[in-house]
A and B are shown apart, each in its own frame.
Chain A
Amino acid sequence: MSAPVSAGAVWRRVLPVWLGLMALLALACAAAYAPLGPWTVAVSFGIAATQALLVALLFMRLDSASALIRLTAACGLFWSAILFSLSLADVLSRLTRT
């Protein structure tokens, strides 16, 4: 581990991430009121995904985690993708038919 030993070293690692997250929050809030039409959903959830990625990588330290743990996290996403894609295959194709 690239051991930070002083309190300052700990904060230097995490504070910039927090600033980035707060900036993204402000951006998301502003973008929600912007006239982006159908892109609004993509932008707001895209920002959320970016924030979640930052939290996972830098707060929960997936960036320095072992391959096994990254794989575990990826499994959660992959299986969610199965759930979403096959369920929505039905829901969306039902919608287009009616």
Chain B
Amino acid sequence: MSTRVAESPASLADPDELALGLPESYLSAGSTLGSWLTTTDHKRIAILYALSVTLFFFIGGVAATMVRLELFTPQADLVGADTYNKLFTLHGVIMVWFFLIPSIPTTFGNFLLPLMIGARDLAFPKLNLASWYLNVLGGLTTTAAVLAGGIDTGWTFYVPYSTTFSNTAVTVGVMGVFISGFSTIATGVNFIATTHLLRAPGMTWFRLPLFVWAMYTTSIIFVLATPVLALTLILVAAERTLGLPIFDPARGGDPILYQHLFWFYSHPAVYIMLLPGMGIVSEVITCFARRRIFGYEFMVYALVAIAVIGFFTWGHHMFTSGMSPYAALIFSFLSFVVAVPSAIKVFNWTATLYRGQVGFESPMLYVLGYIGLFTVGGLTGLFLASIPIDVHVQDTYFVVAHFHYIMVGATVSAYFAGLHFWWPKFTGRMYPETWAKFAAVLMFFGFNLTFFPQFIAGYLGMPRRYHVYPPEFQVWNVLSSSGAAVLAAAYLMPLGYLTWSLFFGARAVNDPWNASGLEWRTTSPPPRDNFFGRPAVLGKPYNYHPEGAEPVHDQPRMPSQGSLT
């Protein structure tokens, strides 16, 4: 059976299906605003999420621009201390909860998870739509807090400052984050149930694309970490508004307990931001190296290990908080342990490239950038996991640079890699490749120029969260702010040329990259029901062997010219 498939994929197809003209895509199922706002199609909900996530990305980006502009000189010339505090809080809150956490799962995950496992939709389509509304409601509530005067606590809302002293709109802000928490829990429930119950015949667990594994493990974190944050934010809001003593040290409360609860969520949240990107990298790197992923099983185990061990390491954010040194020792050890599966992933990606026929199309450029930036971010994470170094660089720009390498350098690169890789599938259009390559390279250099100087400034002792600094740090800040300008250009360019491609781009064929996943076995863009007939899976993912050969397709190919949009 399988050899026959290898010879002629089209021989499996129903001849009547091949004779169809252009099929109708999900985009043409209705074009009114109402048809979008009441849709239960996972693909349309993904587009809704893409719009809201992009909006929040640029809101957070504006705040970051203001921060970098202010830091261009050592004095306070653009904004004062209070405004500066509100700006970096706005940047952190919006970027973490309304861009980084939902970005890849709710856009690519929503769109691709059912396609990749051969399902018609997610398990609970109405819940999926509800989760988008909750996300937008949460985002608007938090934005309202900004309009109501802003929040100046930093994105961590540390007590007792946030509960007792801050005179800003903390309550409204945390309620916004609280609401968005339900949105991510709903997404997590949906993804887990879908992955367990709606896989196509033959799609066994160890035939799942790694992106699906990444979504699955991310969903586990969504479901098991987010409720702790929700409760913690309720505690903060209750202490602020009702005056209940919760963390108030004057009445015997324990502010360090707040940090435990907060980081029990927020450290796994780093892996919420990271794992989906790892999934995208695995999809893209195999396609453009024309190689099967190196060590598929270990890539799966590594994803699961990161998701689980990631829950054991939160205390490394608290080494200088007054936590017991015994606990600090345990957390330091566990933080080193979580580096092992991350390293396995980097080694396996590199090994996948070995003897591959590596192409340098724009998605691959983003992915290669990802691997470099993730490695730097990960290794500096080991510095911070060891207590003596952490005590030295705690609350300096070293920490800022480290987590931006992971959360922005790595994750946003992966986001753009996925955006370019699947853009033809989402929209049915091709984007201008030269512009895309230019933007990918620019992003890599802009990013490093922005954040590498911050490692040095931080190591030399520049503290974070100040709007003024001693003049000897100016050279690093000028470099960083200049890099931020480059980075801003690199982020704006895709907005331009991708929008252009929607109207003027060439029609995409069904499988422009000659890739192997199930999502390429349907039209671009896919029809409402995703597939014509029910797909069945006959083999492992990443079927790119032998070298130089076309991938082996399980599925009959659709007419290659895409679909009606």
| Interface of A toward B, CB cutoff 8 Å | 68, 75-76, 79, 82-83, 86-87, 89-91, 93-94, 97
Question: Out of B224, B257, B331, which one reaches A75, CB within 8 Å?
Answer: B224
Q: How far is the CB of B358 from chain A (nearest CB, A)?
A: 40
Complex Cα–Cα for A76 and B220 (A) = 11
Q: How far is the CB of A82 from chain B (nearest CB, A)?
A: 5
Question: Out of B254, B311, B323, B326, which one reaches A79, CB within 8 Å?
Answer: B311
Asked if residues B315 and A94 are in contact (CB atoms below 8 Å), the reply is no
Question: Out of A68, A79, A86, which one reaches B327, CB within 8 Å?
Answer: A86
Given the known A-B contacts A94-B324, A97-B324, are A86 and B224 also in contact in the complex, defined by CB atoms under 8 Å? no
Chain B residues numbered 302-332 whose CB sits less than 8 Å from any CB in chain A? 311-312, 314-315, 323-324, 326-327, 330-331
Identity of the chain B residue whose Cβ is nearest the Cβ of A96 in the assembled complex: B324
Asked if residues B324 and A87 are in contact (CB atoms below 8 Å), the reply is no
Identity of the chain A residue whose Cβ is nearest the Cβ of B225 in the assembled complex: A79
Question: Out of B220, B224, B257, which one reaches A87, CB within 8 Å?
Answer: B257
Q: How far is the CB of B324 from chain A (nearest CB, A)?
A: 4
1/0 contact string of B242-264 vs chain A (CB within 8 Å): 00000000000010110011001
Asked if residues A91 and B254 are in contact (CB atoms below 8 Å), the reply is yes
Say whether B200 faces chain A, with CB atoms less than 8 Å apart. no
Complex Cα–Cα for A30 and B414 (A) = 60
Asked if residues B311 and A87 are in contact (CB atoms below 8 Å), the reply is no
Q: A89-B330, A90-B323, A94-B323 are in contact. List 14 more A-B contacts (CB 8 A).
A: A68-B196, A79-B224, A82-B311, A83-B264, A86-B327, A87-B264, A89-B327, A90-B260, A90-B315, A90-B326, A91-B254, A91-B256, A93-B326, A94-B324
Complex Cα–Cα for A82 and B311 (A) = 8
Asked if residues B315 and A86 are in contact (CB atoms below 8 Å), the reply is yes
Question: Out of B196, B257, B324, B331, which one reaches A93, CB within 8 Å?
Answer: B324
Asked if residues B312 and A90 are in contact (CB atoms below 8 Å), the reply is no
Chain B residues positioned under 8 Å from A90 (CB to CB)? 256, 260, 315, 323-324, 326-327
Chain A residues positioned under 8 Å from B256 (CB to CB)? 90-91, 94
Chain B residues numbered 498-529 whose CB sits less than 8 Å from any CB in chain A? none
Asked if residues A91 and B257 are in contact (CB atoms below 8 Å), the reply is yes
List 11 interface pairs A-B (beta carbons < 8 Å), by A numbering. Answer: A79-B224, A79-B311, A86-B260, A87-B260, A87-B261, A89-B327, A89-B330, A90-B256, A91-B257, A91-B324, A94-B323
